[in-house]
A and B are shown apart, each in its own frame.
Chain A
Amino acid sequence: MTENKDANQKNESDNQEEVDLSKRQFIKTAGMTTGGIVGGILLGSFISKPFKTEKYEPASEDSHHHGSGSHNTFTEAMQFFTRSEDLLTLAAATEIIFPEDENGPGAIALGAPYYIDKQLASPWGKNTDDYRKRPFLAGESPLNRGDTMLTGLRKLNEVSQSKHNDIFDNLEEDAQIEILQSFEAGEIEMNLVSSAGFFALLRQLILEGCYADPLYGGNKDMEGWRMREFPGAYMSYVDTVEAKEFVKKEPMSLSDHM
């Protein structure tokens, strides 16, 4: 961990006006639990990206003091993860796998890390509807999805530490890509689950976090759909089906039908 880099990033973050109070509070907490301010700052650098369209208007001076901030982000907290460093590692990996570019936002701005946290906290994350009876044979993982993700994310940091002497989200992009490739190829030895199995779950969850209906907390403001020109939850295309040219439609979500 490099102290100077930490300090620089802290200053940069402090200068960003978009960072709202609730986020600041979270950043401080995150920084403390990761054993230094670094993680918190990096988290700040992603959550401060302008992916909110609706500003939350505080009902009173009081709520402002409580730090509820100018954006409604109540659902952006941890349901599954207990260590914010795990969420930070996840966030860094999501952005490498689905990066922001000239087409539009990346996984972080789309809310994929929080989407994943919520999914892992759900019955699906605990494999509630799956057959779990033992014995698990060679090649089968006895871990549920939540434990698979925790094991994999911690392994990402472990490999980062041993190869580059730093945590995953502090590494240069090229080093992060290289590590993720070795996980994808199944080259990293892991206990009870393969690194390829972890990577496949990670990639699947990131695509979901970018493209699921926004009701689940990802695909912020339908920006994932907008990038692909996917209209989302329309009820009928009967008038468009025979069109010879591409017809671009402003997306709709399930909440539009409530």
Chain B
Amino acid sequence: MAKKLDKVDVVTVGVGWMGGIVAAELTKAGYKVVGLDKGKEKDIKDYLHTHDEVRYPVRGEGYEKLTNETYTVRNTLEEDARPIRDKSTAVIGEGIGGGGSHWGAQTHRYYPYDFEIRSKTIEKYGEEKIPENMTLQDWGITYDELEPYYDKFEKMAGISGEPDPNYPERSDDYPTPPLKKNRQMLLFEEAVKKMGYNPFVIPAGTLSEQYTNPDGETLNACQYCGFCGSNYCEYGAKADPVMTVIPTAQKTGNFELRTHARVIRVLHENGKAAGVLYEDTRTEQEFEQPADLVVLTSYVFNNVRLLLLSEIGKPYNPEDGTGVIGKNFTDHHGVTSSHGLFDNEKFNNYISTGAYGMAITDYTGDLLDHHDLDFLHGGQIEARITGNAPVANNIVPEGTPQWGKEFKEKSLFYANRFLMIFSQKATLPYREHYLDLDPTYTDANGDPLIRITWDYSDNDKAIHEFIQEKHIEILEEMGATHILAYPMPEHFSGGLAFQHNSGGVIMGEDPETSAVNSYLQTWDIDNLFVCGASAFPHFSCTNPTTTAAALTYRATEGMIEFLKNGGQLVEAKSQKNQV
């Protein structure tokens, strides 16, 4: 029997970036917020000894344990899904701060084209350019409407960067200057400028200098220590909810954080959320937490799963395209990467940060003409300095065996002579790609796991071919003596190298084709908001956190408005021209 607790104003399910932002903004506004997180508490004292390749990136300390629950994957509707079993292949943040405690902190904004992708594509190329089964949708918001919230996120997180010359002027500079350029970045910059591209230093939440944010939280200067992307930052130099929004919420006195609290259901009746049912993972004692406002902030998989388990919203049906919960799921791990080996250079490859490098966006969005191309959107090209941690980085020229004498010799020689060119590509949605509940596999409580049905599309493959040619041209211009251009895997395996998934609770203007409005308020239940990349109708080229956080900052204004006056914040529109 669940123990019923006293009602609070707001309850968040998960306390990572999105839950932290909601907690900070709502507690500052005077509301009582309870944050429930199924993982553990942590603070910077836990971060001091993390320069350990095996424990962090290889074994995945900081990732959620899969002992009790995971997700399942299949490529097509006809297949049986199999569970992802190995914890180290499922990069999902654990504990408070979630993935925000060990992210690479690459913080690009999405492009104006993204938010109106269907309209702009039709306007320029006609509707026939969009494949019949590609469920491309406008987001129900424009870049200009979201811009102030990008700025708000960047200032809270202290982002270090410089403007991307290809995209609209920013309303303000990045709060801190770009990271320092190393030898590899200078080589890339020189080469791509000669080729006519517009390089810029990748914006990053690993700060170039000490910074105090508008909430009064101080972040320190990055030390380029090389243990970043999967590690916690012992310097407090990485924007992390644990260092920013969570203490901001705690300082108000209005925030109560409960860890080891795994939410099982959203409770609702008569179209109104009553609160959530959760269990203490240590005792299995169940609690009912009533609240005026329920906010799901627990990554794509769990946001969708909780709605489906709680029977909220109409589940998506891939056969006829009806329903919304689970719709437009995309996976964004199908990156294109190429290595250049430089026999006559020796780099300090051991020096890096999580998102260290330079990028060009000349082949993103609609900056390139797609009339004669067999794909939509495109990919960013990055020279990424990812470090050369020795277990994971053994780069050898093509044709070299992967073990034995020659492997050892060459992997040692090239350890400081490689450079990676990397493309994150836009991943567009398809009718047959979605999330639902698995018919076979369950969690420790017997509730079905979330099931992914997804595979690489022709669009993904076409961008890959196109962009990898550019990688090769750039590496040649840079003087690489060997170029390793890695092919795309044939099928999606379900492993996550980082935490880039989106969709399933997508935003839009029409309740027939979207689950939430532009304030991330569900169409079905006014006092239920679902925050995170689950709201993206498609995945653009770059990392999701910045856009998810900007949408969440905007959503918090909607939540405050709702708590004052109630009701739907956006009037639903029926859009017959949407898929």
Residues of A within 8 A of B (CB): 96-99, 101, 103, 124, 127-133, 135, 137, 140, 177, 180, 184, 203-204, 206-208, 210-213, 215-216, 224-225, 227-238, 240-247, 254, 257
Residues of A with C-beta under 8 A to B51: 213, 232-235, 254, 257
Would B49 and A207 count as touching, CB distance under 8 A?
Answer: no
What distance in Å separates the Cβ of A164 from its nearest Cβ neighbour in chain B? Answer: 19
Would B225 and A236 count as touching, CB distance under 8 A?
Answer: yes
> Once bound together, how far apart are the Cα atoms of A213 and B390, in whole Å?
10
Residues of A with C-beta under 8 A to B472: none
Would A97 and B391 count as touching, CB distance under 8 A?
Answer: no
What distance in Å separates the Cβ of A225 from its nearest Cβ neighbour in chain B? Answer: 7
Would A242 and B390 count as touching, CB distance under 8 A?
Answer: no
Q: State the main secondary structure of chain B at its contact with A.
A: loop
Residues of A with C-beta under 8 A to B224: 236-238, 240-241
Quick one: given A129-B65, A237-B348, are A207 and B404 in contact (CB under 8 Å)? no
State the 3 A-B residue pairs at the shortest beta-carbon distance, nearest first. Answer: A236-B223, A233-B51, A211-B390
Quick one: given A129-B65, A233-B51, are A241 and B394 in contact (CB under 8 Å)? no
Residues of B within 8 A of A (CB): 48-49, 51-54, 58-59, 65-67, 69-70, 80, 82-87, 180-183, 221-227, 234, 346-348, 350-351, 388-391, 394, 402-405, 408-409, 411-412, 415-416, 440-442
Among A131, A211, A225, max chain B CB count under 10 A is at A131
Residues of B with C-beta under 8 A to A213: 51-54
Would B348 and A243 count as touching, CB distance under 8 A?
Answer: yes
Among B82, B85, B350, B389, max chain A CB count under 10 A is at B350
Residues of B with C-beta under 8 A to A97: 403-404
> Once bound together, how far apart are the Cα atoms of A229 and B183, in whole Å?
18
Would B350 and A230 count as touching, CB distance under 8 A?
Answer: yes
Would A224 and B82 count as touching, CB distance under 8 A?
Answer: no
Quick one: given A131-B83, A137-B82, A225-B390, are A240 and B67 in contact (CB under 8 Å)? no
Quick one: given A135-B440, A230-B390, are A243 and B183 in contact (CB under 8 Å)? yes
Residues of A with C-beta under 8 A to B80: 137
Q: State the main secondary structure of chain A at its contact with B.
A: loop
Quick one: given A130-B66, A132-B85, are A207 and B225 in contact (CB under 8 Å)? no
> Once bound together, how far apart are the Cα atoms of A246 and B416, in whole Å?
8
Residue pairs across A and B with Cβ atoms less than 8 A apart, 10 shown, are A128-B67, A130-B85, A133-B83, A135-B440, A207-B391, A228-B416, A236-B223, A237-B226, A237-B351, A246-B347
Residues of A with C-beta under 8 A to B346: 245-246
Quick one: given A131-B85, A132-B85, are A242 and B416 in contact (CB under 8 Å)? no
Contacts A204-B391, A242-B181 known; 6 new A-B pairs at CB < 8 A: A127-B85, A131-B67, A228-B411, A237-B225, A242-B180, A244-B183
> Once bound together, how far apart are the Cα atoms of A97 and B51, in whole Å?
26
Quick one: given A131-B85, A246-B347, are A228 and B65 in contact (CB under 8 Å)? no
The total of Cβ contacts below 8 Å across the A-B interface reads 142
Quick one: given A97-B403, A230-B388, A237-B351, are A103 and B181 in contact (CB under 8 Å)? no
Residues of B with C-beta under 8 A to A243: 182-183, 348
Q: Closest chain B residue to A227 by CB distance? A: B412
Among B69, B83, B84, B441, max chain A CB count under 10 A is at B83
> Once bound together, how far apart are the Cα atoms of A128 and B183, in whole Å?
43
> Once bound together, how far apart are the Cα atoms of A231 and B59, in whole Å?
21
Would B404 and A229 count as touching, CB distance under 8 A?
Answer: no
Quick one: given A128-B67, A238-B221, A247-B348, are A103 and B408 in contact (CB under 8 Å)? yes
Would A203 and B404 count as touching, CB distance under 8 A?
Answer: no
> Once bound together, how far apart are the Cα atoms of A236 and B222, in whole Å?
8
Residues of B with C-beta under 8 A to A131: 66-67, 69-70, 83-85
Residue from B52, B58, B85, B408 in contact with A233 in the complex, judged by beta carbons closer than 8 Å: B52
Would B391 and A208 count as touching, CB distance under 8 A?
Answer: yes
> Once bound together, how far apart are the Cα atoms of A235 and B53, in whole Å?
14
Residue from B85, B350, B441 in contact with A231 in the complex, judged by beta carbons closer than 8 Å: B350
Q: Closest chain A residue to B441 by CB distance? A: A133
What distance in Å separates the Cβ of B300 from its nearest Cβ neighbour in chain A? Answer: 18
Residues of B with C-beta under 8 A to A180: 403
Residues of A with C-beta under 8 A to B388: 228, 230
Q: Closest chain A residue to B71 by CB distance? A: A131
Q: Closest chain B residue to A135 by CB distance? A: B440
Residues of A with C-beta under 8 A to B52: 213, 215, 233, 254
> Once bound together, how far apart are the Cα atoms of A89 and B403, in whole Å?
17
Q: Closest chain B residue to A139 by CB distance? A: B82
Residues of B with C-beta under 8 A to A215: 52
Q: Closest chain A residue to B387 by CB distance? A: A230
> Once bound together, how far apart are the Cα atoms of A7 and B12, in whole Å?
72
Residue from A99, A229, A230 in contact with B405 in the complex, judged by beta carbons closer than 8 Å: A99
What distance in Å separates the Cβ of B439 from its nearest Cβ neighbour in chain A? Answer: 12
What distance in Å separates the Cβ of A203 from its nearest Cβ neighbour in chain B? Answer: 6
> Once bound together, how far apart are the Cα atoms of A52 and B442, in whole Å?
50
> Once bound together, how far apart are the Cα atoms of A216 and B82, in whole Å?
33
What distance in Å separates the Cβ of A128 from its nearest Cβ neighbour in chain B? Answer: 7
Residues of B with C-beta under 8 A to A236: 223-225
Would A224 and B390 count as touching, CB distance under 8 A?
Answer: yes
What distance in Å separates the Cβ of A82 from its nearest Cβ neighbour in chain B? Answer: 24
Q: Closest chain B residue to A102 by CB distance? A: B409
> Once bound together, how far apart are the Cα atoms of A240 and B225, in whole Å?
10
> Once bound together, how far apart are the Cα atoms of A212 and B87, in whole Å?
19
What distance in Å separates the Cβ of A221 from its nearest Cβ neighbour in chain B? Answer: 15
Residues of B with C-beta under 8 A to A242: 180-183
Would B350 and A237 count as touching, CB distance under 8 A?
Answer: yes
Quick one: given A213-B54, A237-B350, are A140 and B408 in contact (CB under 8 Å)? no
What distance in Å separates the Cβ of B408 from its nearest Cβ neighbour in chain A? Answer: 6
Would A99 and B83 count as touching, CB distance under 8 A?
Answer: no
> Once bound together, how far apart are the Cα atoms of A128 and B85, in whole Å?
11
Residues of A with C-beta under 8 A to B65: 129
> Once bound together, how far apart are the Cα atoms of A11 and B302, in whole Å?
65
Residues of A with C-beta under 8 A to B222: 238
Residue from A130, A133, A224, A245 in contact with B87 in the complex, judged by beta carbons closer than 8 Å: A130
Would B408 and A235 count as touching, CB distance under 8 A?
Answer: no
Among A101, A211, A225, A243, max chain B CB count under 10 A is at A211
Q: Closest chain B residue to A200 by CB distance? A: B402
Would B49 and A254 count as touching, CB distance under 8 A?
Answer: yes
Q: Closest chain A residue to B182 by CB distance? A: A241
Would A216 and B49 count as touching, CB distance under 8 A?
Answer: no
Residue from A240, A241, A257 in contact with B49 in the complex, judged by beta carbons closer than 8 Å: A257
> Once bound together, how far apart are the Cα atoms of A71 and B82, in whole Å?
49
Would A130 and B54 count as touching, CB distance under 8 A?
Answer: no
Would A241 and B351 count as touching, CB distance under 8 A?
Answer: yes
